[in-house]
């Protein structure tokens, strides 16, 4: 089944403890992206990648890191999480430059930083 898989689905952590949220897609998509969703603010883009080793900042990149060493994987790294990073995170992927194709989203990761 074509899908974007995020892990974990739920995570509670403490301030300052490094964590990684994994994202993997099995559709051979070039584009991958991370979004965070907060009430009243909609979906805000953190980072995106247009292919292996090609990443760029979205609108809210502060406090986050990403890497794209393989086409299928795009992990989101929080080096020193803070409570303001408590949010619902979505990973998404898309075919590059194909008319009619939008993003396929993962199921989401609900992160709580205490």
Partner 1 sequence: QQPVQSPQAVILREGEDAVINCSSSKALYSVHWYRQKHGEAPVFLMILLKGGEQKGHEKISASFNEKKQQSSLYLTASQLSYSGTYFCGTGNTGKLIFGQGTTLQVKP
Contact between 10 and partner 1 per CB under 8 A: no
**What is the rounded distance in angstroms from the CA atom of residue 26 to the CA atom of residue 71?**
9
* Part of the chain binding partner 1 (CB under 8 A), chosen from 7-15, 51-59, 60-68, 73-81: 51-59
Contact between 31 and partner 1 per CB under 8 A: yes
Contact between 101 and partner 1 per CB under 8 A: yes
Strands 19-25 and 65-66: unpaired
Residues found near partner 1 in the complex (CB under 8 A): 31, 33, 35, 40-45, 48-50, 56, 58-59, 90, 94-97, 99-108
């Amino acid at each position: 089944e074509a899908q974007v898989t995020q892990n974990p689905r739920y995570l509670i952590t403490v301030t300052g403890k490094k964590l990684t949220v994994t994202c993997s897609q099995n559709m051979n998509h070039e584009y991958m992206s991370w979004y965070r969703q907060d009430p009243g603010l909609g979906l805000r883009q953190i980072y995106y990648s247009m292919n292996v080793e090609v990443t760029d900042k979205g609108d809210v990149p502060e406090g986050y890191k990403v890497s794209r060493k393989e086409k299928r994987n795009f992990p989101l790294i929080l080096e020193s999480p803070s409570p303001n990073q408590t949010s619902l995170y979505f990973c998404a992927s898309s075919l590059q430059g194909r008319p009619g194709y939008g993003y396929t989203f993962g199921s989401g990761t609900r992160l709580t930083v205490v």
